[in-house]
Structure 1
Amino acid sequence: MKPFLLLIFLVSTLPSRSQTIQTGAERLDAYLPLIKDKRVGLLVNHTSLVGQTHLTDTLLSLGIAIPKVFSPEHGFKGNKPDGEKITDETSSRFELISLYGDSKKPTVEQLNGLQVMIIDMQDVGVRCYTYASTMTWMMEACAEARVPVIVLDRPNPNGSYVDGPVLDETYESIVGLHPIPLVHGLTLGELAQMINGEGWLKDGLTCDLQVIPVMGWTHEMPYSLPVPPSPNLPNDLAVSLYPSLVLFEGTVASVGRGTDYPFQVVGHPQFAGGSFGFTPHPNEGSKYPPLEDQLCVGVSYIGQKPSYSLNIELLMRFYRNTEVDVFFNDYLTKLAGTKKLRKQIEDGKSELEIKSSWENDLTEYHEIRKKYQLYK
């Protein structure tokens, strides 16, 4: 079948979901002219779908040359445990390069020969989710190598609100590179435009950037992810709870890694007053889950409908009612992007007082965000 006829066939057979919401990857007619007859690099993973077909398969079937494919945390197939260094992925169709292995940023040699880079990954709209950092370092490398970047945008399932502390740049890390709130209310495409526009790449670089927007979606629209974005966010409930529960990763508590309900339960063996119990064991999503083989007592959200808001009251309650000498660890500072949150909780501040302390920073951020919003 000729590429043009195949394109018509692919578009006509996209699933019914795309009749109302069409992701950037599904808008083939918008970006194929930009990559025709070029050597294309991809930064993708298992979420990079055109309908039910992976983007690499779609583009290769259309005769697009793809010599190199890069992947973020969890790998190309999205099945690697959290935090695991990835060095063993290979493909017979293209060179497969992990950006969660020996290096987090592509080298000059790895970009050599590429004429354009496509980025397509499903993000969840939380600053500490590492896909945005990997995108940043790819943009930076492409700016240095003068390789244009195309972001195929996808909806943000937590995109209906903005909340949380804004990152203090003293605490930059892979779980937070930019001065944005914990819940930033942007798609990866919008965030890429902000990174470029605000000069947040190294040495004030800007990359040659083009975003292919989502069609038929606004920030206020609920969006159910067609596939889990990572092993420990298995469903819409976990995705909606992630902004609140991820802060527990900076504590002695477990958020259910190593169970069938990651990011849907919270517990600790010494938590007082819990009504739910679970015991973490190693599994495909977590080789070394916190509190492995220990009965954790706590709170369950299993079976509830997703609710989109940032809740720090539960974190405060666990701090008050977990009988340990030290509840928080240093990782909380990186996740929160500030040392203030830990001190505020330890000082007994109320949730209202803590959230009020974010207001000025959030007001300033909203003004910046307006400049880069692609969707209402």
Structure 2
Amino acid sequence: MKKISVLIQIFIIACSLSCAATTPRNIDGTRANKPAIITGADQTALYINYLRGKNVGMVINQTSVIGKNKTLSLDTLLKLGITVKKIYGPEHGFRGDASNGADVNNSIDAKSGLPVISIYGNKHYKPTTEDLAGIDLMIYDIQDVGARFYTYLSTLQYVMEACAENNIELMILDRPNPNGFYVDGPILDTAYHSFVGMNPIPIVHGLTTAEYAQMLNGEGWLKNHEQCKLKIIKVANYAHKTPYTLPINPSPNLNTAKSILLYPSVCLFEGTTFSLGRGTMSPFLQLGHPALAGKYNYSFTPISIKGMSEDPPQKNKTCYGINLKNYDTNIIYTSGKLNLAWLLELYKALPDKDHFFNAYFTKLTGTTDLRKQIEAGKTEAEIRASWEPGLTRYKTMRAKYLIYP
């Protein structure tokens, strides 16, 4: 009877997936004549039997959902009789409600009663042997947004290293990359390795999580050139050029599809004294500074917002600058390029140029060159020319690890 019950549950979940899959659309928004995209997590029939009899750990957050009801993959697997022993939470926490950069502590999940081990904050980015005790297989199921400085890539690397060192297989439930349709930006200089950039890849890397995991193994980038045993559950009906709208906000300040597409360009302002809208309900959709009063008509005032940005740049000050809420993101699809124009324009506009940048800019860009080029008055064309031949070499390397066309 128990076996029949489980089969019925799988059937119900499979039926819900037919409604849950994202319907591909063309760039102009019309329905594409293609099968719907189905994430790796949604394809439970491909991996459920593989999990049976194993003690499972899950690296997940609020984006780890299955079905049209957006049920957490943890809850689905528990319902199907899988033995999940521990949860491992990244930046923003397991439930995705911690502010950017905030330390996240270990806890107990109220719904499942399972221990939640934080692998972000308090210098605890990598699961220890103790953290992995009793685990036979790890699952990584987190939505990425396709930018090098989005920290879930670093979490993935540390999890892979920990699994390799402890001889634990890692199953990746792959998901589409909403910025996976292009590759652009300077290649990181490993002299500036940090948690927001660990390897020599461009700002926009054009990979899904599983493709990047294959690159980490293939290029020997894990500690001591360890190899992590991977089992990949691929996305069905996905190609890199296919537009994809996320069903769940990937983090508190990426709360619209437009902000996700603008994130690789606008996040560079985290390395300046400008506000990029943190502390408002439209983060990554506006840029401003108090010193630009009189130069720009558009204004906004960042405040403390619990769970989003509790101490944002330029808090409680009226900022003047650029409104991106109506920006046509089709420009990104057609150009396949980061937007550097906003950075160059606002550097020229700020009277006090000595205080435009902060130290974080080098970590975000992964190089000292871009700051020097902007300060020297280089044009966008000159800056882009300096990214070659690094970008061409990267694209050649990337091709070895692509799973999707």
Do both proteins adopt the same fold according to a TM-score greater than 0.5, normalized to the shorter chain? Answer: yes
Consecutive unaligned residues of structure 1, counting only runs of 5 or more, are none
Q: CA–CA distance in 1 between the matches of 2:235 and 2:358?
A: 39
1:85 aligns with 103
Amino acid at match of 1:278: F
Give me the whole-angstrom Cα distance separating, in 2, the residues matched to 1:192 and 1:352: 32
Among 325, 346, 370, the alignment partner of 1:318 is 346
- 1:331 has 2:360 as partner: yes
Measure how far apart 1:304 and its partner are.
Answer: 3.6
Q: Which residue of structure 2 lines up, in the alignment, with residue 367 of structure 1?
A: 396
Unaligned runs of 5+ residues in structure 2 are 22-34
Secondary structure of the residue that 1:359 maps to in structure 2? coil
Equivalent positions of 1:1-376 (< 5 A) are 2-14=5-17, 16-18=19-21, 20-51=36-67, 52-87=70-105, 89-92=107-110, 93-102=113-122, 103-271=124-292, 273-284=295-306, 285-307=308-330, 308=332, 309-324=337-352, 325-376=354-405
Q: Is the 8 A contact 2:277 2:286 kept in 1?
A: yes
CA distance in 2, matches of 1:78, 1:305: 28
1:298 counterpart SS class? strand
Q: State which drifts further: 208-217 or 333-342.
A: 208-217
Distance 2:194 2:296 in 1: 33
Q: Percent identity?
A: 46
The one-letter code of the counterpart of 2:316 is D
Moved over 4 A (4+): none
Secondary structure of 2:47 counterpart? helix
Tell me the secondary structure at the aligned position of residue 130 of structure 2.
helix
Secondary structure at the aligned position of 1:151 is classed as strand
- Structure 2 length normalisation: TM-score? 0.91
In structure 2, C-alpha distance between the alignment counterparts of 1:207 and 1:140, rounded to whole Å: 7
Paired amino acid for 1:95: P
Q: What's the offset of the Cα at 1:217?
A: 1.1
CA distance in structure 2 between the aligned counterparts of 1:213 and 1:240, rounded to whole angstroms? 23
Cα contact 1:270–1:322 (8 A) shared by 2: yes
User: Quick one: which amino acid aligns to residue 314 of structure 1?
Assistant: W
Instruction: For residue 85 of structure 1, report the CA deviation from its aligned partner.
Output: 0.3
SS of alignment partner, residue 42 of structure 1: strand
State the shift of 1:14 in Å.
2.1
Query: 2:242 is paired with a residue of what secondary structure?
Result: coil
Task: Please report how far the alpha carbon of residue 234 of structure 1 lies from its aligned counterpart in structure 2 after TM superposition.
Answer: 0.3
Aligned to 2:206, the other structure's residue is in SS state coil
Q: Is the 8 Å Cα contact of residues 282 and 288 (structure 1) preserved in structure 2?
A: yes
- State the secondary structure of the residue aligned to 1:277: strand
After superposition, the CA RMSD in angstroms is: 1.2
The SS at the match of 1:69 is strand
Query: What's the CA shift string for 1:212-249, capped at 9, x where partnerless?
Result: 11001111011011111000000111001101100000
**How far does residue 323 in structure 1 lie from its aligned partner after superposition?**
1.6
Partners of 2:184 and 2:19 in 1: CA distance = 33
Q: Distance in 2 between matches of 1:68 and 1:260?
A: 33
